[in-house]
Structure 1
Amino acid sequence: MKIFTTWAVAAALSAVTLPALAQDTKTIRVGSWLPPHHLIVSGILQPWATAIEEETGGSLKFEIMTSSLGPPPAQFDLLLDQAFDVGYGVSGHNAGRFTMTQVMDLPFMSPDPWAGSAASWLTYEKFGAEYGEHEGAHVVGLFTHSNPNINMAKGRVEKLDDLKDKTIRVGGNVTGRMMSELGASPVQLPPTEAQTAMSRGVADGITFPSESIDFFGITPVISSITRIPGGLYTDTFWVAFNQESWSGLSDAERAAVEKHSGMAIALLAGFAWTNGDIVGEQKLNEKGVEFIVLSEEDIAAAREKLKPLEAEWIAQADDKGFDGQQILTYARDMVENYRADKQVNVVK
């Protein structure tokens, strides 16, 4: 869809009638499949849009849609079809389509949303132009969510073996593979159906950050939560313009968008997910949900069991003509630079 244009006319009134002054205001439609109060919309997209509007002096106006034109997996195609000017989505909702971009989805890559979001963007900024995974769109941001937990409605996961024969709701293709490797049976369902699925015994648990458990109303059915230090997995989200809409911006407007995108979006994601988890855990604690921390021994075992996913990703990258190990090493280096628990005030 081409950028919608309106005219804002400013008239100076005095004893003598002066010519009207016109300012060209471009309205950017942002496709959205989440409610306006979800943190991705209210904590990431809205502040991002507001900053750009202010930067351009009103030359750009963002209109975030309040009803979805299609399910989450359809968002990238809707963007390419010009159903809206800007879209966002989860890379893992389209299995095999954004393989290279999903480097941060690999096991134990993202210890927190600050590190994960920063590393996802910086790695894409360095290598992504070669991927060819977003042709027809101009990517302005990538980010990850916060550390997920294993949230159980039925049974407890005190040790890794407790996952065997459990049915776990997952959100993306890589997460589903992880659960299979760890002995669970993954089932991919929309988050809005998770509570019903667990209430009816269709699923025993769900992999989700604490924020999402609260937001999607799943808290009432959760009895125990298992934390996995180091970040078992994450999902990589993309934010992008339709290429034609991007090309329709002036040089100054594109500069304003770029100023408030990239790492700025990563920082917004770090704030949003961190604060969202605080609220979500308060609700879970009020309900008396039991929190369990997986042992270091079991974490080491999980890392070992999930090594094949990393090897397979590197092989896929190499088959596409990329140096998979180089990309993976760079992503890990960026994680270490930006991780939230990095100690910097060391007293010798």
Structure 2
Amino acid sequence: MKHFKTLIISAAIGATGLPAMAQEVTTLRVGSWLPPHHLIVSGIIEPWAAAIEDETGGSLQFEVMTSALGPPPAQFDLLLDQSFDVGYGVSGHNAGRFTMTQVMDLPFMSPDPWAGSAAAWQTYEKYGDEYGEHEGAHVVGLFTHSNPNINMAEGRVETLSDLEGKTIRVGGNVTGRIMSELGASPVQLPPTEAQTAMSRGVADGITFPSESIDFFGITPVINSITRIPGGLYTDTFWVAFNEDSWNGLTDEQRAAVNKHSGMAIALLAGFAWTNGDTFGEEKLVEKGVEFLTLSEEDVATARDRLEPLQTEWLEQAEEKGFDGEAILTYARDMVEHYRADKVVNVVK
């Protein structure tokens, strides 16, 4: 994609009569499929872009698009087609395309958005070049959302057996498989259709973090929420440049992007999802929604039932020529290293 380039005045020495110094500005378009006030845009993408703009003294600018050029599953291909310079998306929206990158999508991998996002990036930074899943793009960040709950419009999920026969809205391929293994019937719908689906009885509930329940206007139809300790699943999001757009930057601009990407994006995600969940949960409490927590026994049962997903992922890794056990072990080590509930202020 051709960048927009302009000249700006960076300094002027009027009294001496010397000519003003001009600086070339490169403006990159950021493809976006979410509303501008969604936390991914306002809490992650925009702060990231602003930090880079400041770092480059304004020589690199970002224009976040306000209208989507295509649905969420099309975002990576739109990026490759140079419809925009920078994009973001959900790896699980393209089933089978980003299998290795989705290691954090496996059940009970991400206990919180800080650990999940950090581990996703650290693992990709170590192994991602081998995967070859993002050819044509330059990935600068990965992050995960916060812990999802089982949010019910009808009935309540106090035990795993309560999920049997329930229709649950899911957002991605792995999530759908998880619900199936736990006895529910998954239905994949856009989040904007979730409230209507539940109010009409098309779906009994939805798997979503508290932030998303409030943001997409689903709070009015929710009656009970079941928390799953340990994080039942997560989605891995990517942030990337089109390769040509990346190569078109100066060395200084690329250095600025690198400085504010990677783990910096993971930290932004941790802040954004944690704050968003706090706000969303306040709205749910105001409505009088009942909060439940799945018992330790049921969590252990869920882990056992979902073990086949890990086994299948390891088999797929082997088919692709990767050491899946090493990747999985490293990802889990990174989770433990960065988890938010880690106790550090103790004397041994």
Which residue identity does 2:231 align to in structure 1? G
Counterpart of 1:35?
Answer: 35
Residue by residue over 1:25-82, the C-alpha shift from the partner in whole angstroms, topping out at 9 and shown as x without a partner, is 0001111011111110111111100110010011101111111111100000000000
Q: Is the 8 A contact 1:118 1:263 kept in 2?
A: yes
Counterpart of 1:94?
Answer: 94
Matched, 1:222 2:222: yes
The Cα shift of 1:21 comes to 2.9
Counterpart of 2:127?
Answer: 127
The Cα shift of 1:342 comes to 0.6
The Cα shift of 1:11 comes to 8.0
The Cα shift of 1:8 comes to 1.8
Counterpart of 1:238?
Answer: 238
C-alpha distance 179-23 of structure 1, shift in aligned 2 (>3 A): same
Residue by residue over 1:9-34, the C-alpha shift from the partner in whole angstroms, topping out at 9 and shown as x without a partner, is 46847577543432100001111011
SS of residue paired to 2:275: helix
Counterpart of 2:323?
Answer: 323
Matched, 1:81 2:85: no
Counterpart of 1:198?
Answer: 198
Which residue identity does 1:52 align to in structure 2? I
Matched, 1:255 2:270: no
C-alpha distance 308-10 of structure 1, shift in aligned 2 (>3 A): closer
Q: Distance in 2 between matches of 1:310 and 1:11?
A: 58
The Cα shift of 1:346 comes to 2.3
TM-score (norm 1): 0.98
Counterpart of 2:142?
Answer: 142
Q: Distance in 2 between matches of 1:208 and 1:125?
A: 28
Q: Is the 8 A contact 2:13 2:20 kept in 1?
A: no
Identity of matched residues, %: 82
| Superposition CA RMSD, Å | 1.2
Which residue identity does 1:240 align to in structure 2? A
Q: How does 1:276-291 map to 2 (within 5 A)?
A: 276-291=276-291
TM-score (norm 2): 0.98
Q: Distance in 1 between matches of 2:321 and 2:249?
A: 33
Which residue identity does 1:175 align to in structure 2? T
Q: Distance in 1 between matches of 2:244 and 2:90?
A: 22
Q: Distance in 2 between matches of 1:241 and 1:13?
A: 37
Residue by residue over 1:125-177, the C-alpha shift from the partner in whole angstroms, topping out at 9 and shown as x without a partner, is 00000101000000000000000000000111000011111000001100000
Residue by residue over 1:167-210, the C-alpha shift from the partner in whole angstroms, topping out at 9 and shown as x without a partner, is 00001100000000000000011100000000111100000000
Which residue identity does 1:199 align to in structure 2? S
Q: Is the 8 A contact 1:142 1:236 kept in 2?
A: yes
Matched, 1:275 2:267: no
Matched, 1:50 2:57: no
C-alpha distance 196-15 of structure 1, shift in aligned 2 (>3 A): same
Q: Is the 8 A contact 2:13 2:19 kept in 1?
A: no
Q: Distance in 2 between matches of 1:119 and 1:156?
A: 33
Q: Distance in 1 between matches of 2:226 and 2:194?
A: 17
SS of residue paired to 2:119: helix
SS of residue paired to 1:68: coil
Q: Distance in 2 between matches of 1:11 and 1:159?
A: 66
Q: Distance in 1 between matches of 2:343 and 2:329?
A: 21
**How many residues get paired?**
348
Counterpart of 1:346?
Answer: 346
Q: Is the 8 A contact 1:215 1:280 kept in 2?
A: yes
SS of residue paired to 2:232: coil
Q: Distance in 1 between matches of 2:268 and 2:9?
A: 34
C-alpha distance 305-15 of structure 1, shift in aligned 2 (>3 A): closer
The Cα shift of 1:309 comes to 0.2
Gaps spanning 5+ residues in structure 1: where? none
SS of residue paired to 1:253: helix
SS of residue paired to 2:285: helix
Q: Distance in 2 between matches of 1:79 and 1:339?
A: 32
Q: Distance in 1 between matches of 2:92 and 2:124?
A: 16
Which residue identity does 2:317 align to in structure 1? A
